[in-house]
Amino acid sequence: MVSESSVDLMGESGGRASGPLIELEGATKTYHSGSVSHEALKGVDLAVHPGEMVAVVGPSGSGKSTILNLVTGIDRPSGGRVLVDGQLLGEMSEEELAIWRGRRVGIVFQFFQLLPTLTAVENATLPMELAHIGSSRQRVEKASHNLELVGLSDRLHHVPSELSGGEQQRVAIARAIACDPVMLVGDEPTGNLDSETALRMLDLLGELNNGGMTVLYVTHDPDLAARAGRTVTIRDGLIDGAG
């Protein structure tokens, strides 16, 4: 059994060293399906510093989502190093990764992934419940604050079916920031929204970034990528130019 204290939750234990928050060094990833192998990443070097907002762009199948899977610990690299928030992810156990990810990473998905029977505020408290943070009352207060932050103070007790797509994605963002993560990661977070709503979502991510949160997101839309402070282009598993 791994205790939470065995995972160095930087920021709760005295801060982290200066330098990149996210660092990939020669990262490779090969997926296997029977006798067929697919090399999704072919030696990626990438550094993202605290407080940056970075968009990862590239054609379908280029390796964009694989990068996000590596930096969130959902996947492990086949080779190279992935260092995030002071943690060498490839050397952590699945339980250590789960504890670290729950406390330190906020993830926003394309299809929201809200629990349909729970209200907005109940969905937004889930990460705190799973991480055993605060009392029930404190969790509800924090979730309510986060929903107010994303402009949903009047929709706290609505279930997802009573919310628009943009409102559901706002709930997903409030859920993602529940545990005050060091970084917010989005895998096509606006891909299921109309263009006007997508731009509003990127404005919201920009506001969070202006507040100091590191944001890394994947998009296929050049207009949405332009909202980031830096754009990284990946093709055929390799980053174009310096990361």
pLDDT in tens, 65-95: 999 999 999 999 999 999 999 899 999 999 9
Instruction: Evaluate if pTM is beyond 0.75.
Output: yes
Largest CA distance in the chain: 53
DSSP character for 185?
E
Asked whether the CA dihedral 114, 220, 199, 213 is positive or negative, the reply is: positive
| Domains present along the chain, CATH in parentheses | 4-239 (3.40.50.300)
CA–CA dist 69, 237 (Å, integer): 14
The rounded distance, in Å, linking the Cα atoms of 211 and 101 is 21
Coil vs helix vs strand at 41:
strand
Q: What is the mean pLDDT of residues 141-153?
A: 95
Exposed/middle/buried for 201, CB within 10 Å: 0-12, 13-18, 19+?
A: buried
Mean pLDDT of 209-214: 94
